[in-house]
């Protein structure tokens, strides 16, 4: 499988740290081997069979343990391999390409728990969780209660002091990955009966320390997609917790810690899920090329090629936006919350629509349980929770809304604040480390990614399509600024109007456009032929316009044909379809 | 939007003035008559909690020309203590 095609020079040239990162992904790809090999214990056939049984693929979990996947969730300073969000996404995307259940069910849950501790835990708590994860243990991230959904400030589970002064857990958590088998859990609980945002805390618990008599595990929850992931529930009755369990040692910081630390996961999860679309696209193309129709194959039809090219452009759009957001966590951590909410609200629907459209490609074949179809059907199910899992679209938009008027006045109209440093837009290039302590509750009205759009458009020396796009998106930013600064008080909040929510979508659109254009403007010299031509970025921007309902036009032939050609080239060479363009056996 | 863009930047300001201005804004945010906004009750009583209260924080910043940690809104859940907490920030500015 791993052909001799080199990875894109953009990712590797002269970057010592990234050679290590590349090596991890290559190692993982080698361990997974050729997905199409019928005797591969972690190949397609076994992955589909495990899904049919509603189980995690045991051989896949063993493989990831052997690889040391958990180390990628643990900061380097604590003995792990986590050096940055982009690197983590790269590794996890390789897992998602093989099996999204393995990605979510083996790994992502532990990372979600981990970021809480890396952001707000005491040194001792950080070491404790790091040791547990590095030993191969899992951590559950226990926030969710069915009664409150993503509105975790209304959490019902309590951890209030009992008569002896020790906190006691009462209540339940539901639909949390790996609750039953995790050795550690980060539990979000009410630690003060008063209303408000200083009444909750995370508790870091070793499950062995809890009295089994006061803990009851609920039946596993069945789901449409991600069938293998062990989504459990837990009920506590007067369960005493050891002293020192409150994260950071001070009760009441729970909402703040959640809003700060989950900025990382709100970017990382959509970034990982790009791997799902990669495999969906590969699977659809494989099926379409082998399906005889009207005297040729499905891929001889212009409509089919257009659908495939559009899914490829959607993938590039999603990857570019998440990659820039991931890198901006390093270069503009105070604004990471804004970009995380924008990515988590905008990218998952793009991925879902792309997988759905690919399902139409094969027409009636899709209905069969044969050939490529069972895997594709699984991916179509597995992509669904990306829209609401962890943080729903509406909850992310609700986090953006209160920041919109100030950002319009301060960041857009008054043009306060700097643009992002150029290295933000150079995937694979070195970055300063993530400073968890700099993650902030709000962006303070500054929006450096939008500043980069305006600055880049002013500096650009090119004509034609790119310049037209730059002008268009700058005008859209101006229009958005005017609309947002006219928002009345009361426009923010759960009862905000659909119009106000729509403005957050437009904001995400401007940010995505800036990410695409700036990645183009900052492309490295000597990029490969495809990366050095504007078809990819123009196609991504065209699709962005489609997703924002600016138009309903299919991708013009002048963009669709070069994208289709590149898609087939990568397919034949066994390369991924994302910016990384690396060898894969998926 | 006049009251949002004008920045009076007072030399000194009393907690009473700040509180009355805050009451006005909370009334505007929640669509209630200002008389209904009690400065001793947590803002959550009026539906202004968690991230939604951050919009009010932005207005404080613009009106007084100061920067405040958004958590000041959570640490001072009612308008009385919030006004007390804001006065030194405004005066320092």
Domains in chain A: boundaries:
139-252
Residue A463, Cβ density class (10 Å: 0-12 exposed, 13-18 middle, ≥19 buried)? exposed
Residues of chain A neighbouring B42 (CB-CB closer than 8 A): 194-196
Number of domains in chain B: 1
Query: CA-nearest residue of chain B to A442?
Result: B70
CB contact under 8 A, A196 and B52: no
Q: Which of B55, B59, B67, B81 to mutate to test the interface with A (most CBs of A within 10 A)?
A: B55
Does residue B4 fall inside a structural domain? no
The first and second tokens of residue A142, run together, are 């226990």
Residues of chain B neighbouring A398 (CB-CB closer than 8 A): 51-52
Q: Report which DSSP code applies to A432.
A: P
Residues 52-91 of B with CB under 8 A from A: 52-55, 57-59, 61-62, 67, 70-71, 73-75, 77
Q: Tell me the shortest Cα–Cα distance from A400 to chain B, in angstroms.
A: 9
Does residue B5 fall inside a structural domain? no
CATH class of A139-252: mainly beta
One digit per residue, the tens of pLDDT, for chain A of length 586 reads 333 333 333 333 333 446 778 899 999 999 999 999 999 999 999 999 999 999 999 999 999 999 999 999 999 999 999 999 999 999 999 999 999 999 999 989 999 999 999 999 999 999 999 999 999 999 999 998 888 876 777 888 999 999 999 999 999 999 888 999 999 999 999 999 998 899 999 999 999 999 999 999 998 888 888 988 888 999 999 999 999 999 999 999 999 999 999 999 999 999 999 999 999 999 999 988 887 777 777 888 888 999 999 999 999 999 999 999 999 999 999 999 999 999 999 999 999 999 999 998 877 666 666 677 889 999 999 999 887 777 788 889 988 998 998 899 889 998 888 999 999 999 999 999 999 999 999 998 999 999 999 999 998 877 789 999 999 999 999 999 999 988 877 676 667 889 999 999 999 999 999 999 999 999 998 778 898 899 999 999 999 999 999 999 999 999 999 999 999 999 999 999 999 999 999 9
Residues of chain A neighbouring B30 (CB-CB closer than 8 A): 490
Q: What is the ipTM of this complex?
A: 0.85
Residues 25-54 of B with CB under 8 A from A: 25, 28-31, 42, 44-45, 47-54
Q: Tell me the shortest Cα–Cα distance from B91 to chain A, in angstroms.
A: 21
Residues of chain A neighbouring B57 (CB-CB closer than 8 A): 442
Residue B83 structural domain: 11-92
CATH number at residue B26: 1.10.1200.10
Does residue B3 fall inside a structural domain? no
CB contact under 8 A, B55 and A444: no
Query: CA-nearest residue of chain B to A407?
Result: B58
Residues of chain A neighbouring B67 (CB-CB closer than 8 A): 444
Does residue B51 fall inside a structural domain? yes
| Rounded Cα distance, A304 and A22, in Å | 34
In the prediction, which pLDDT does A9 show? Answer: 36
Nearest to residue A83, comparing CAs of A95, A93, A92, A74? A74
Angle between helices A254-289 and A557-573 (to 10 degrees): 90
Q: How far is CA A579 from CA A3, A223, A282, A323, A528, in A?
A: 18, 32, 15, 9, 11
Does residue B47 fall inside a structural domain? yes
| Rounded Cα distance, A177 and A110, in Å | 9
CB contact under 8 A, B42 and A485: no
Residue B15, Cβ density class (10 Å: 0-12 exposed, 13-18 middle, ≥19 buried)? middle
Query: CA-nearest residue of chain B to A413?
Result: B5
Nearest to residue A342, comparing CAs of A210, A126, A491, A505? A505
If phi > 0 it is left, if psi is from -120 to 50 it is alpha, else beta; for residue A561 that is: alpha
pLDDT digits 0-9 by tens, A185-211? 999 999 999 988 999 999 999 999 999
CB contact under 8 A, B70 and A441: yes
Query: CA-nearest residue of chain A to B2?
Result: A486
Residues of chain B neighbouring A492 (CB-CB closer than 8 A): 52, 55
Does residue B25 fall inside a structural domain? yes
């Amino acid at each position: 499988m791993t052909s001799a095609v080199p990875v894109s020079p953009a990712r590797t040239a002269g970057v010592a740290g990234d050679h290590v990162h590349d090596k991890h992904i290559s190692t993982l790809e080698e361990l997974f081997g050729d997905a199409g090999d019928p005797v591969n214990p972690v190949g397609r056939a076994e992955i589909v069979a495990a899904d049919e049984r509603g189980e995690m693929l045991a051989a896949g979990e063993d493989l990831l343990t052997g690889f040391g996947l958990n180390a990628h969730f643990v900061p380097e300073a604590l003995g792990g391999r986590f050096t940055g969000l982009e690197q983590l996404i790269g590794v996890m995307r390789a897992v998602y390409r093989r099996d999204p259940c393995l990605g979510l069910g083996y790994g992502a849950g532990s990372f979600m728990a981990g970021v809480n501790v890396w952001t707000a835990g005491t040194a001792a708590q950080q070491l404790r969780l790091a040791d547990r994860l590095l030993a191969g243990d899992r951590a559950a991230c226990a926030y969710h209660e069915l009664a409150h959904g993503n509105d975790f400030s209304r959490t019902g589970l309590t951890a209030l002091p009992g008569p002896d002064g020790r906190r006691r857990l009462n209540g339940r958590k539901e639909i949390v990955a790996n609750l039953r088998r995790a050795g550690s859990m980060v539990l979000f609980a009410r630690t003060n009966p008063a209303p408000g945002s200083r009444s909750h805390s995370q508790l870091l618990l070793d499950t062995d320390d809890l009295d089994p008599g006061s803990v009851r595990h609920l039946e596993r929850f069945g789901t449409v997609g991600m069938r293998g992931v062990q989504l459990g529930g837990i009920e506590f009755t007067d369960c005493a917790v050891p002293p020192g369990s409150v994260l950071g040692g001070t009760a009441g910081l729970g909402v703040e810690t959640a809003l700060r630390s989950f900025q990382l996961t709100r970017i990382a999860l959509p970034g990982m899920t790009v791997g799902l679309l990669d495999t969906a696209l590969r699977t659809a193309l494989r099926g379409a090329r082998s399906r005889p129709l009207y005297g040729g194959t499905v891929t001889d039809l212009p409509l089919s090629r257009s659908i495939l090219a559009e899914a490829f452009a959607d993938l590039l759009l999603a990857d570019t936006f998440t990659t820039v957001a991931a890198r901006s966590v390093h270069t503009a951590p105070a604004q990471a919350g804004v970009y995380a909410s924008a990515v988590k609200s905008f990218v998952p629907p793009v991925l879902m629509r792309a997988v759905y459209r690919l399902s139409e490609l094969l027409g009636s074949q899709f209905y069969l349980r044969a050939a490529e179809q069972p895997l594709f059907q699984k991916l179509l199910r597995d992509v669904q929770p990306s829209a609401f899992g962890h943080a729903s679209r509406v909850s992310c938009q609700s986090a953006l809304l209160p920041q919109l008027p100030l950002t319009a006045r301060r960041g857009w109209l008054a043009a306060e604040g700097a643009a992002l440093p150029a290295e933000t837009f150079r995937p694979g290039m070195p970055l300063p480390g993530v400073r968890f302590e700099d993650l902030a509750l709000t962006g303070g009205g500054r929006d450096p990614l939008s500043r980069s759009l305006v600055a880049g458009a002013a500096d650009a020396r090119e004509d034609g399509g790119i310049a037209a796009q730059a002008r268009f998106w700058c005008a859209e930013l101006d229009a958005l600024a005017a609309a947002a600064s006219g928002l009345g008080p009361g426009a923010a909040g759960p009862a905000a109007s659909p119009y106000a929510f729509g403005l957050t979508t437009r904001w995400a659109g401007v940010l995505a456009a800036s990410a695409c254009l700036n990645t183009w403007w900052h492309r490295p010299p000597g990029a490969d032929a495809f990366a050095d031509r504007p078809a990819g970025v123009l196609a991504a921007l065209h699709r962005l316009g489609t997703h924002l309902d600016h138009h309903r036009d299919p991708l013009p032939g002048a963009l669709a044909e070069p994208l289709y050609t590149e898609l087939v080239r990568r397919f034949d060479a066994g390369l991924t379809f994302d910016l990384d363009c690396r060898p894969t056996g998926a | 939007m006049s009251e949002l863009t004008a920045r009076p930047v007072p030399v000194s300001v009393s907690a009473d003035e700040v509180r009355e201005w805050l009451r006005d804004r909370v009334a505007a945010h929640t669509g209630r008559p200002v008389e209904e906004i009690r400065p001793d009750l947590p803002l959550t009583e009026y539906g202004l909690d968690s991230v939604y209260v951050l919009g009010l924080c932005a207005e404080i910043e613009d009106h007084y020309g100061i920067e405040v940690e958004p958590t000041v809104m959570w640490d001072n859940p009612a308008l009385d203590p919030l006004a007390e907490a804001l006065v030194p920030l405004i005066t320092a500015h």
